[in-house]
Copies of this chain bind each other. A is one copy, B any other.
Amino acid sequence: MKKENKDTAILLLHCPDKQGILAAVTEFININKGNILYLDQHSTHDVFFMRVEWDLNGFLIPRDKVREYFATLLASKYEMEFNIYFRAQKPRMAIFVSKLSHCLYDLLAHYEAGDWEVEIPLIISNHEELEPIAKKFGIPFYCFPITPENKDMQTAAELELLKRNEITFCVLARYMQIITPEMIQAYPNKIINIHHSFLPAFVGAKPYHAAYERGVKIIGATSHYVTEELDAGPIIEQDVVRISHKDSVGDLLRKGQELEKIVLSRAVEKHIDRKILAYKNKTIVFG
């Protein structure tokens, strides 16, 4: 199901909460003849979060001046941190994989069906196994085998490749390598991982084996932004599936993989739609 591709601006912001912010932002858009298509806001006692999307047709401020005007007229006054995106500028996504194909197929099926307003210029892997899938879909595949010795060098080469391709965010589709701090700093809250457990339960390797050992009755999957602490970044989406004593570790793996692809795709879709605001290791995910 293709979404309509309108010429819109998307503003994501947060700032100290005080009276009148919402009115000020909506008035800024209204008086400049922007038609608000979507608005959602959230506030804790201290902080105000907002996402607003408006039609750029007839908007008085030219596209390349929107950021500047907003910064000058509102952001500084309210101490806002903000980003403005234009729907016409599609995000560019790099997929990282290792040997498991289920998440990769699901992402590529969405991509080919035109479900998402995104470009996928390349796939990176530390193994060659999934190259045939990349070929099927006509997407360049780059293999960077990783050893303890070459990891820094390979990461540098990957980063160079990402920059050359103007990649705006990365998706780890069951990529089985720890991401280096350099990579994380280059893409802060822009690397989406899928962890095959219901975090914070079963951090680290072999979570299905650990879940089996503990005898849980439900297993889960968690997509999150990658930070320097393993499996501890801001959670974007989680889901679970019921299991029973009848399920072997292999059954958990199979049931879990169905979850993983769903949960990862939901997170990727929200990121592409610029509906996620990461703040202090948590996410605001607008509806």
Contact = CB atoms under 8 A, between A and B. Distances in A.
Interface of A: 1, 3, 19-20, 22-23, 26-27, 30, 35-36, 39, 41-42, 49, 100-102, 105-106, 108-109, 112-113, 115, 136-137, 198-202, 214-218, 220, 234-240, 242, 244-246, 250, 253-254, 257-258, 262, 265-266, 281-285, 287
Nearest to A113: B101
**Copy number of this protein in the oligomer?**
4
A39 B36 contact: no
Contacts of A35: 19
A235 B250 CA distance: 20
Given A20-B30, A41-B39, A101-B113, A250 B216 contact: no
Contacts of A217: 235-238, 285
Contacts of A106: 105-106, 109
Given A216-B235, A218-B220, A258-B265, A245 B42 contact: yes
Q: Binding site of A, secondary structure by majority: helix, strand, loop or mixed?
A: mixed
A44 to B, nearest CB: 8
Contacts of A26: 20, 22-23, 26
Contacts of A214: 199-200, 235, 282
Of A30, A216, A250, most B-chain CB atoms within 10 Å: A216
A216 B238 contact: yes
A134 to B, nearest CB: 12
Contacts of A257: 1
Nearest to A20: B30
A26 B22 CA distance: 7
A100 B112 CA distance: 11
A32 to B, nearest CB: 11
A274 B217 CA distance: 18
A47 to B, nearest CB: 11
Contacts of A234: 215
19 contacts: A1-B250, A19-B35, A19-B36, A22-B36, A27-B27, A42-B246, A101-B109, A101-B113, A105-B112, A106-B106, A106-B109, A115-B254, A136-B137, A198-B198, A198-B201, A215-B283, A217-B238, A218-B238, A244-B287
Of A49, A105, A250, most B-chain CB atoms within 10 Å: A105
Contacts of A245: 42, 49, 282-285
Contacts of A236: 217
Contacts of A218: 198, 220, 238-240
